[in-house]
Amino acid sequence: MKRPCILFVLVLTASAGLRGQLTSNQKALDMEHLASLYAKNYGPYEWKRDFVGFDLLDLASWLSRALATKDDLEFYELMAEYVRRLDDAHDGYLLPSNFVARLHFTVDNYDGRVLVDSINRLRLPATEFPFRTGYEVLSVDGRSSEDLIREYSRFLTGGNPRTTRRLAANLITVRPQSVLPRAIEIGDMATVVMRRFDGTTETFRIPWSKAGLPLRTVGPVPTPADSTVAIRQAERVANWESEYLALLERLQRVEVPHRTVLGVGARNPVFLPPDEFLQRLGRAPADFFYSGVFEAGGYRIGFVRIPSFSPPNAGLALQQFAAEVAFFQANTNGLIIDTMRNPGGFVSFTNSLLQYVIPREFRTVGFELRATSSWVVAISSSLESARAQGAPPFVISQLEFLRDQIVTANREFRGRTLAIPLDDVTLDRDPARDSRGSLAAYTKPLMLLVDEMTASGGDMFAATIQDNQRGLLFGMRTMGAGGSVSGYAAGVYSEGFTSLTESLMIRSAKVQPAGYPASSYIENVGVHPDIEADYMTRDNLILDGRLFVRQFVDAMVDHIRRSR
């Protein structure tokens, strides 16, 4: 991998043009530091260079733009834009600010239009604000919704055009400064123009609710005589120097931020369940899953929603899932698993659930890990810690395996390892078995619900189901957040933060969806459904998803019938 272009700035102590702003030298150093983090650690570099068309190492123009920024907020916008150009759903640059402004209603994209999809009636009583779910938001403070989506898409991405548009639309009414540097510049009242169901328009004056401390400037910050000292200190903070379990958790994190999209990570499905649905899980606080059964087409069908792959108690969640699978195996003709709006979680938990729904040996998703010397040091230290603390043998074996794979990649001058597991020493997995050794995995017809908010661990779950021909995927293509992610302090002086993808998910076979090159990568490609159906329509919003439910129930009945 070629080295980033470094521009040395000779302005060491000059004051900025505006009082309290970062100096030109400090901006250049922080821009270089951000780029260096990606140059060293970013797993999908070559993929982004060749597929997305962005070379993160071509830094000269970014440094020139950094020096030309007029204030700290413009510099923050540039840093966020640099990371956004990677078009990576995992990666985003965040300001060190807790300021957020809300209008207390949310919007999203339905049928290509920005529609209201939730209203906080405690803050916006209907007597004063008589707009309704399903109204179209045409403009806010004189700027059209489309214009705002275009602007906000400069600072964040979902790695998938549909996802990016939805995330940007959500920022129209919920504006955190950590994502939008100039969110603090809004007034006290918003003028919102909406289109009613009958096509007429109405204007509402809605107060912005503001919380947190606005960030306006970072400086003045003194520059050390040797600025590289400060950068080295920041890199030490970024390195993960912890015990072995923390390092394994870092490696296995496959999750995107929840953002503000309605229902992301929520236990209940975004739609109302089918008619005569008999709910099992989802009422008690300790229930991680939402589940139940219903009848359709003469068949008894099970339903379980997996809200994420990062439960607060993985052991308890796995017990719940195993019990539900045992019930479904004995009492249903087919099973629907809902992973829509699932933001991901951890590799090990994802693979554990897969073992309960694939009743034969299968191959899971592998990861090409960026092979750096810091990984060798971190894993070697964790290995020593694990041995000293009497860690289980499988943990020792896993750490040794990871260390050897990275050392081999370095010895062979490869930027990344081969496709390897991050939670075991093999990609081949056996189905779950109970304490007596009997098969505990579900064996009957299976359908998986996916959408553009099915992300990271959700991408991985869907790809494994599809690659092993275990069941049908129904919905829209997944987000395409195909790697494991960590967080880094980014910028010694500006004190920002960036999440960074350190590996690439690799499917067990190459695929070539329409419009994409043949590849085993999930990043940006996503996992494409066998049956395409779009929940994001106005009718589904107004009718609580009844049309969408009818579609997937009919498809499931047909799937069971064909499987007999």
Residues of the chain with pLDDT under 70: 1-20, 219-242
Q: List phi, psi (to 5°) of 476.
A: -120, 165
Selection from 111, 93, 96 nearest residue 547 by Cα: 111
Question: For the residues of 411-449, what is the DSSP string, one character each?
Answer: HTT-SB--SB-SSSS-SEEPPPB-TTS-B-S--S-EEEE
The CA distances from residue 207 to 204, 215, 409, in Å, are 10, 21, 56
Judged by DSSP in three states, 334 sits in strand
Per CATH, the number for 255-362+429-480+525-563 is: 3.90.226.10
Burial (CB count within 10 angstroms: exposed 0-12, middle 13-18, buried 19+), residue 244: buried
Place of tokens 């107060």: 207
CB neighbours (10 Å) of residue 138? Answer: 17
> Which residues partner with 110 through β-bridges?
113
Delimit the CATH 2.30.42.10 region(s) of the chain: 100-211
Structure tokens at 98: 């807790």
Q: Are 367 and 483 in contact (CB under 8 A)?
A: yes
Which residue blocks in 290-441 are alpha helix, DSSP H?
Answer: 314-331, 347-354, 373-388, 393-411
Enclosing H/E stretch for 558: helix 546-563
pLDDT of residue 222: 59
Per-residue pLDDT tens over the stretch 455-512: 999 999 999 999 999 999 999 999 999 999 999 999 999 999 999 999 999 999 899 9
- Sequence-separated (6 or more) residues with CB below 8 Å from residue 410: 371, 373, 376
Q: List phi, psi (to 5°) of 442.
A: -70, 135
Whether a cis peptide bond, with omega within 30° of 0, leads into 220 is yes
Whether a cis peptide bond, with omega within 30° of 0, leads into 176 is no
The CA distances from residue 339 to 253, 258, 391, in Å, are 17, 14, 33
Q: Report the Cα–Cα distance between both ends of the chain, in Å, rounded.
A: 53
The upper half-sphere exposure of residue 216, i.e. CA atoms within 13 Å in the direction of its Cβ, equals: 7
What CATH fold (topology level) applies to the domain 100-211?
Answer: Pdz3 Domain (2.30.42)
292: DSSP letter: E
Q: List phi, psi (to 5°) of 495.
A: 60, 35
Delimit the CATH 3.90.226.10 region(s) of the chain: 255-362+429-480+525-563
